[in-house]
């Protein structure tokens, strides 16, 4: 027998009896935990399958309910369209008419005053709102300012000096 084959047969790390017993106990506990975990995973898979089936049923019910609600809304719109002329005729037949109101002006503070003449400022003062080059006032008009744009060209302006 060679030296290499003798070493191969013997385990390298042999534990003492106490250490080996402790490791076996620990291994048994771990195996029990693994077994419990596998059992728990199996139960969770069953619960997951039940929940998945329930979710499918609820989804189908939801889709049917939405389809039913859409059909009912369409039916309601159709019936409202048919009923609208009858509702309008009934509202017109039962309409309440009230005579036009008149303000009581017997109190002195409620007495009517003279109407106020409201005009735009340019009308009230006899002026035009905008002076454009094409519509420049004549030089004979006393309201014409001391300078006016030249009516010949809209881009150039000339000054008109009025002799006093």
The answer to whether residue 68 scores a pLDDT higher than 60 is yes
CA distance 98 to 96: 7
Angle at 48 between CA 45 and CA 50, to 5 degrees: 115
Counted domains in the chain: 2
Is residue 50 one of the residues assigned to a domain?
yes
Structural domain that includes position 152: 132-164
The answer to whether residue 157 scores a pLDDT higher than 90 is no
Top pLDDT among 161 and 100 is at 100
Length of the chain: 164
Per-residue pLDDT band for 53 (boundaries 50, 70, 90) equals very high
Is residue 53 one of the residues assigned to a domain?
yes
């Amino acid at each position: 027998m060679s030296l290499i084959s003798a070493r191969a047969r013997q385990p390298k790390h042999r534990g003492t009896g106490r250490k080996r017993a402790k490791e076996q106990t620990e291994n048994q506990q771990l195996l029990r935990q693994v077994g419990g975990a596998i059992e728990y995973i199996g139960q969770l898979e069953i619960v997951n399958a039940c929940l998945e089936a329930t979710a499918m049923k609820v989804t189908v019910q939801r889709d049917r309910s939405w389809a039913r609600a859409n059909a009912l809304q369409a039916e309601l719109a159709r019936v409202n369209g048919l009923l609208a002329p009858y509702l309008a005729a009934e509202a017109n037949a039962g309409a309440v008419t009230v005579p036009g109101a008149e303000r009581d002006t017997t109190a002195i503070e409620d007495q009517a005053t003279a109407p106020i003449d409201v005009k735009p400022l340019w009308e009230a003062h006899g002026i035009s709102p905008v002076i454009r080059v094409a519509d420049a006032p004549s030089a004979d008009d006393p309201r014409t300012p001391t300078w006016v744009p030249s009516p010949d060209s809209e881009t150039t302006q000339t000054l008109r000096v009025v002799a006093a």
